[in-house]
Amino acid sequence: MRIVFMGTPDFAVGTLLAMADAGHEIVGVVTQTDKPVGRKQELKPTAVKAAALERGFTVYQPAKLRKNPEFLETLKGLVPDVIVVAAYGKIIPKEILSLPKYGCLNVHASLLPKYRGAAPIQWAVIDGEEKSGVTIMQMNEGLDTGDMLATVEVPITADETGGSLFDKLAAAGAKLLVETLPKVEAGTLHPVKQPEESPTPYARMIRKEDGKIDWSLPAARIECLVRGMNPWPSAFTSLNGKGLKIWKSHLDHTVPANPAAVPGTVLSIDGGLLVQTGDGVLCITELQLEGKKRMQASDFLRGHAVETGTVLGK
């Protein structure tokens, strides 16, 4: 099939390469504009752009899709059979959705209709879900509301992070999309409509402040937050006025909880920072103090005196 691919981050790269390796003709790759990064604010290409150029694909980076007749004519000139979208990051207007013979297909990293929205991977981990997956969807003008064409489930393990689930779903999505394309062309799929109303939860975009730990929450919820926010933006609190990122933690049952203690109170430093929460004790095993490198809590405690009774987040 003649395919125009639209995607931006690492998540989308596997799908692009899998389609090419399966013998499809990639007639164009559309990605977001280069963004300034680092202290020098140097322009950096998107992950999809870098991969596309390495394979010799033609790359397009329109600043906008809506009310852009010149780019619409460019797409028409490519005569795609289908447009495949994976984490492109912008809403696709109606005139593009209806352009190809087989419309636009979206590789969405959740089991729709749950977790419609921009950050389904992280929220699934944060919310303590036991499974996630990928849905191939026929796109319409709604936000992740189109008919479902194919799905695959991926279990969420007890130590799953946002980063590890990202990698699993990227691979699963690439494989599922390649398996789905011939069925789209043959007309053998049976689309499943989604409910008109979006069921909760909705996966809105993650903000840096979402990583701030509320120690009054149960330990189990905080532990999920730590995993979901790894690697970005990280769960965080403060220690004696300095920012403290929490990279790894687990529930602890060796130290008795102290319901009378203020949530965030360090109960013990034996084997990690053991902290009282709103319900239960959380053991912090990997952390990073502001201005310092990431390290095991045991190593950190050898160089930093943290007294029991210290309250994190104050």
pLDDT at 38 over 90: no
65-72's contacts with Cβ under 8 Å and 24+ in sequence apart are 65/90, 65/91, 65/92, 65/93, 65/96, 66/91, 66/93, 72/96, 72/99
Give the pLDDT of residue 201: 87
Range 2-186 has CATH code 3.40.50.170: yes
Q: Give 196 or 23, the one with higher predicted confidence.
A: 23
Q: How far apart are CA 172 and CA 163, in angstroms?
A: 14
Token code pair at residue 109 = 């990293």
User: Mean of the per-residue pLDDT values for the chain?
Assistant: 96
CATH 3.40.50.170 maps onto the chain at 2-186
**Span 261-287, average pLDDT:** 97
Residue 314 confidence (pLDDT) above 90: no
The predicted structure's pLDDT at residue 41 = 86
- Please give the pLDDT value at position 265: 98
Is the pLDDT at 25 greater than 80, yes or no? Answer: yes
| Strand 273-276 versus strand 266-268 pairing type | antiparallel
Kindly state the percentage of the chain with pLDDT values over 70: 99
Q: What is the mean pLDDT of residues 34-42?
A: 87
Q: Give percent helix, percent strand, percent coil of the chain, each to the nearest 5.
A: 30, 30, 45
Whether the predicted pLDDT of 199 surpasses 90: no
Q: Residues spanned by CATH 3.10.25.10 within the chain?
A: 208-303
Structure tokens at 175: 């494989």
Is the pLDDT assigned to residue 237 strictly greater than 90? yes
For the segment 126-172, what is each residue's pLDDT rounded down to a tens digit? 999 999 999 999 999 999 999 999 999 999 999 999 999 999 999 99
Task: Kindly state the tokens that stand for 60.
Answer: 């397009």
Which is more confident, 254 or 40? 254
Percent of the chain with pLDDT over 90: 94
CA distances from 135 to 74, 166, 294 (A): 29, 14, 35
pLDDT in tens, 65-93: 999 999 999 999 999 999 999 999 999 99
User: Which contacts (CB < 8 Å, 24+ apart) does range 288-295 have?
Assistant: 288/234, 288/244, 288/245, 288/247, 289/239, 289/242, 289/243, 289/244, 290/242, 290/243, 290/244, 291/242, 294/245, 294/247
* The pLDDT of residue 37: 84
CA distance 118 to 139: 15
* Domain 208-303 = CATH 3.10.25.10: yes
Contacts for 99 with CB less than 8 Å, ≥ 6 apart: 72, 75, 76, 80, 83
Q: Region 273-302: what's the mean pLDDT?
A: 97
- pLDDT at position 131, please? 98
The pLDDT score that the predictor gives to residue 196 is 81
Per-residue pLDDT tens digits for 84-126? 999 999 999 999 999 999 999 999 999 999 999 999 999 999 9
Q: Which is higher by pLDDT, 228 or 41?
A: 228
Q: What confidence score (pLDDT) does residue 39 get?
A: 81
pLDDT of residue 127: 97
Q: Is the pLDDT of residue 200 over 80?
A: no
